[in-house]
Each structure stands twice: as structure tokens, then as C-alpha cells.
Chains A and B, each alone.
Chain A
Amino acid sequence: MLMIPLFILFGAMAIGCAVAMVAQRNPLYSAISLIGVFVSLACLYLTLQAPFIAAVQVIVYAGAIMVLVVFVIMLLNVEEEVRRPVRLHYLIPVSVILAAVLVAEAAFMLKLGSGAGHVEPVTQPDSGVGLTASIGTGLFTTYLLPFEVTSVLILMALVGAITLARQTRTPLAAVPGNVDASPSELGPRGEVLLQPGETAETGRAFARFQIEHGEAAAPAETKGEGER
């Protein structure tokens, strides 16, 4: 049968790309390996007769999410991870022992349940389970509420991402240690002209500057000039 070599090929590709992703120290190379994992998983979905999910996997994961990740990696100019010395050497044998116990446990449970756990496929090869029509029908009839909740979730993610990534500008005079920097320029009536992005901290720094340098009367003088 053709399915078994295909499964072995794409499964091996997925595992190999995943191991390469973890082993790479350059984040860009890990991202490219992760794209390999996604594409081989899409091929595995095709062997499971789920063409819609396979297409969405390629479009959303390999197309949208990974482009975003690669974009951020290049934007931040990420350097390679430095190899650092291992602390806590005694944990290595402990972890090996615990992993061996876990594998033995899993093998025991598999052996225990091997009689009843043999699942035969229910679907016929030409049933329309994985096709777009059945998924759309399910999404817009039985599972309409989860679908709508998902759209609200996406809206929240949109707002959150914009809020997080927005540049919040701190004014120069508000930086601690930089209080005595020259204050903002005065307007024609001697009032402080607020620049965009200035906060209450700027006003306090301005007032402190005036008190310390004896210029507290300066606005009054300019006010007098304005009346003249």
C-alpha cells in the first residue's frame, strides 16, 4: 500500500525537522526547520483524508504565523544563542532515570491495552468527513457559538497586539537624573507649550527647574508684556 511509505517519509521528515529546530542555535534556522515540520504535517493530514485542514495548515501556519515570526526575528536582529555552562550537574542522571521510568510506564500501558486498544478505521475512503463542505456545515450549524467566540478572541488579540507594540514615548525631561534639562519652550503668553507625548512628569520637572533657578516669576513678566 502506498500510504505506509508516505507516512514513514513525512513522519521522518517531521521528526527530523523538529530535532533540527531544537538543535539549531540560530533562531532563523529554527524557524525554517519549523516550516519544514508544518509542511510535512500538512502532508500527513492529506494521508488522513483531511484536505481542508492540510490547506489551512499551509496557509495559516507556514504562510501567516511563520512569516510573522521570521519578520520579528529579522526586525530584532537576533543573535545566536550563546552556549552556557551547565549548572546543577546532578540533575542529569536524575532526569535520565525519570525518563526511563516514564518510557517503561508507557510501554507497560501500551502492552496492557494492546488487545482492546486496536482501533479500526470507521470511515470509508470516500466519505466526506475531511472535505470543506462538511467542515463548513459543522462550523456554521452545531458549532456556531465557538466560531463566534473565536472571532471575539481574534479581536482581543488584535487590540492587545496593537497596545503592546505601540511605542510609548517618554519625554526627555521626565527621565530621572535629567531633571535639570532645559524646559519646554514657552508660548507667547508664557504658558508651557506641551509637545505631543509629554506627561505630567514633564510639568513637574519644569516647575522644579524654575524654582531651583529662581525663574518662578518669569511667566508673570511675560504676562505683563502680553498685556501691554
Chain B
Amino acid sequence: MIPLTWYLALSSVLFTIGVVGVIIKRNAIAMFMCIELMLNAVNLTFVSFSSYFGDVTGQLFVFIVMTVAAAEAAVGLGIIIAIFRNRESLDVDDASVLKL
């Protein structure tokens, strides 16, 4: 069977790519997608630990993380639409002040 460290290394690489994307991207939707990538990297560690230790708890946690990600997608995209309606732009540098 594949060593556990391979999965963990892959997960850390994906998480790092997500962090880099959040830092260098300027588009709100692109940053949002990078956050989704980070959540998925964490999910991969959960599933691999769960599978290697024979404990189902990790996969239940992945289930709940997916639910939170879906809720986050709904609210986050609502916020993005509201910002776009006010500023006609998705660039986060244009939205650096909290007031409308």
C-alpha cells in the first residue's frame, strides 16, 4: 500500500498552492476558489488518516467540512455579487474600504 507520507506530502503541496493563490490573486472569485482548494487539501489528510487508522471519524469530518464549504460558497458568492453591484468590479483592491 502507498505510504501515508505520500498523501500528506501531496496534501501539503495542494494547500501551499492554495495559500499562494490567495496571496497573489486579486480577483475575488479566484481567491474564493483558492480557499476551496485549501479545504480540499485538508480533506485529503482527513481521508488518508481515516483510511490508515481504520477509523470512520475522519470521513465524517470530511462530510461536515464539505457542508461548511457549500454554505461558505452560498454566502461568499452572495457577498461577491453584492460587492460587484456596488463597485462594478471584482478586484479586491477596489474593495479595500468596508463602507460602501
By a beta-carbon cutoff of 8 Å, the part of chain A in contact with chain B is 1, 3-4, 7, 11, 14-15, 18-19, 21-22, 27, 30-31, 34, 37-38, 41, 44-45, 47-50, 52-53, 56-57, 60-61, 64-65, 68-69, 72-73, 75-76, 78, 81, 84, 110, 117-119, 121-123, 127, 129-130, 134-135, 138-139, 143, 146-147, 150, 153-154, 156-158, 160-165, 167
Contacts and interface: CB of A to CB of B under 8 A. Distances in A.
A76 B90 contact: yes
A202 B59 CA distance: 55
B60 A73 contact: no
Interface in B64-90: 64, 66-75, 77-82, 84-85, 90
B7 A48 contact: yes
28 contacts: A3-B1, A3-B2, A7-B6, A14-B10, A22-B21, A22-B25, A27-B30, A34-B37, A37-B37, A38-B40, A41-B40, A44-B7, A45-B47, A48-B47, A48-B51, A50-B50, A53-B62, A57-B66, A81-B25, A81-B26, A81-B91, A122-B53, A122-B54, A123-B51, A129-B50, A130-B56, A157-B70, A160-B75
Interface in B11-54: 13-14, 17-18, 20-21, 24-27, 29-30, 32-34, 36-37, 40, 43-44, 47-48, 50-54
Contacts of B13: 15
Nearest to A18: B17
B67 A154 contact: yes
Given A34-B37, A129-B54, A138-B57, A69 B10 contact: no
A59 to B, nearest CB: 10
Main secondary structure of the interface of A (DSSP, over half): helix
Contacts of A110: 5
Q: In the complex, which range does the number of interface residues on chain B fall in?
A: 35 or more
A159 B11 CA distance: 33
Given A47-B2, A50-B59, A69 B47 contact: no
B52 A19 contact: no
Contact of A68 (B10, B37, B63, B73): B73
B56 A34 contact: no
A39 to B, nearest CB: 11
B17 to A, nearest CB: 4
